[in-house]
Copies of this chain bind each other. A is one copy, B any other.
């Protein structure tokens, strides 16, 4: 655990954890960034396939987003489609836990979710950026209503157990003070004519003017207590009305304290492409997408079907699966197979493919992550602290506290995301029993919100490495592994093609799963109509 170590800024690992990307440490972050995590998907509108060969059959393995999209498009194009799904519901990691739901993880721990009606958490994906056009388009087509996700909240906190005596700071003040000091430092360099001469005199003047506005500097180019800085960082006594309304100005935090706090590490979060507003969530939980697909595809999906063997020959694919209720084994056969089973599971299933694809399937470790949903007796974060949605970031192992972006101002109980844990901390939390994870999340969170002690009601905790249907959260490609294996992963092997977020440049995102499914389906269709040559 990191808390309690005094002095010094957060380490890079801590930053990565804070921004929710640390699983594999810096190398992974670099790999993700360089390979496009955080990006528009290139979706150009609904797929228009037609003219499937008469009677052509496709087996789709897995009813997560990739499998659902593949099945939806293949059926539309005229294929006979069957989907085999391990769970008793559609969606896969697209999943919402609500009151009354029961979840049993590997190792046998069973949790009964006790949330009030209408309250939920999304153990998996929870956000739909405005540039994930594929996801937004399917939501529109399927009638899944969307509402804004409050990614950035200036009134939420940045918290370091080693800065400001462990007292959480409002995002607003850290951002204003960091910008202000950066602007002042650079403005004074410009004023002293110490800037590189490569910048023209005219540009230097414009730069100075821009820094003044942008950094809220005063007439002396100083970032100081007063109306300009307070118009960003907030006031000590806020302006009001009549005779009692005169404001009192707050005092910015000094440069050295801002820098040593390390809290600036969270500032770029609202600027990351994937997090930029507008960003949405389905009304009622992310699982509404999987549910809608499930309704749409109906009997095409065979639930409780655990794939145990994947075979193929020159003419087709034979999949053996076990009914998880009756334990009976059955087989299904089709001309083609779109396999969307996570590599963490697929690597354990006997499968007749060549060495290149087999090596690719084995090459991708999966991230551990944990989400903990906590129900409280009231929405104290709104009532006491005026935090309506958004995320508090902390260097404690819980990493995030995310306040619900729905039901604002409502009375009664409320559920927040009490932890979103990655990397080493996730391994530690995965090893705990669910109730211990919940207790730990409450213990840590109470250091930011003391109301936790009084108001805590119940919780659920999903550790993805113990999820029976994925055994991990998402595929973590290093740049090296991707360079070596990615094409082999995506290329057809005989009559089998893979899809899923692991087969995309948008790892961990539903849009990646969706786009990989469209790419795979498009290639499958071209093969099928050209006579089925598997080469």
Q: What per-residue 1/0 map shows which CB atoms of A489-510 lie under 8 Å from chain B?
A: 0110000000100011110000
A163 CB–B CB distance under 8 Å: no
Q: Given contacts A255-B203, A518-B241, is CB(A189)–CB(B186) below 8 Å?
A: yes
Q: Is there an interface contact between B150 and A245, defined as CB atoms closer than 8 Å?
A: no
Chain B CB count within 10 A is highest, among A131, A206, A242, for A242
Per the bound structure, the CA–CA distance linking A133 and B242 in Å amounts to 17
A259 CB–B CB distance under 8 Å: yes
A222 CB–B CB distance under 8 Å: no
Interfacial chain B residues near A230, Cβ < 8 Å: 39, 273
A278 contact from B150, B194, B246, B516, Cβ within 8 A: B150
Per the bound structure, the CA–CA distance linking A172 and B39 in Å amounts to 13
Interfacial chain B residues near A522, Cβ < 8 Å: 244
Per the bound structure, the CA–CA distance linking A499 and B182 in Å amounts to 41
A419 CB–B CB distance under 8 Å: no
Q: Given contacts A242-B523, A386-B131, is CB(A40)–CB(B504) below 8 Å?
A: no
A519 contact from B37, B140, B172, B245, Cβ within 8 A: B245
A27 CB–B CB distance under 8 Å: no
- Determine how close the nearest CB of chain B comes to the CB of A3; give it in whole angstroms: 20
Per the bound structure, the CA–CA distance linking A186 and B215 in Å amounts to 14
Q: Is there an interface contact between A243 and B9, defined as CB atoms closer than 8 Å?
A: no
A380 CB–B CB distance under 8 Å: no
Closest-by-CB residue of B relative to A498 is B242
- Determine how close the nearest CB of chain B comes to the CB of A198; give it in whole angstroms: 9
Q: Given contacts A39-B247, A209-B9, A264-B210, is CB(A242)–CB(B499) below 8 Å?
A: yes
Which residues of chain A in 388-408 are interfacial with respect to chain B, using CB atoms and an 8 Å cutoff? 388-390, 405, 408
Per the bound structure, the CA–CA distance linking A248 and B232 in Å amounts to 36
Q: Is there an interface contact between B268 and A214, defined as CB atoms closer than 8 Å?
A: yes
Per the bound structure, the CA–CA distance linking A175 and B153 in Å amounts to 18
Q: Is there an interface contact between B241 and A515, defined as CB atoms closer than 8 Å?
A: yes
Q: Is there an interface contact between B185 and A278, defined as CB atoms closer than 8 Å?
A: no
Closest-by-CB residue of B relative to A261 is B206
Q: Is there an interface contact between A130 and B505, defined as CB atoms closer than 8 Å?
A: no
Which residues of chain A in 24-59 are interfacial with respect to chain B, using CB atoms and an 8 Å cutoff? 30, 33-43
Identify the 5 closest CB pairs spanning chains A and B, nearest first: A242-B519, A36-B239, A241-B516, A241-B515, A40-B238
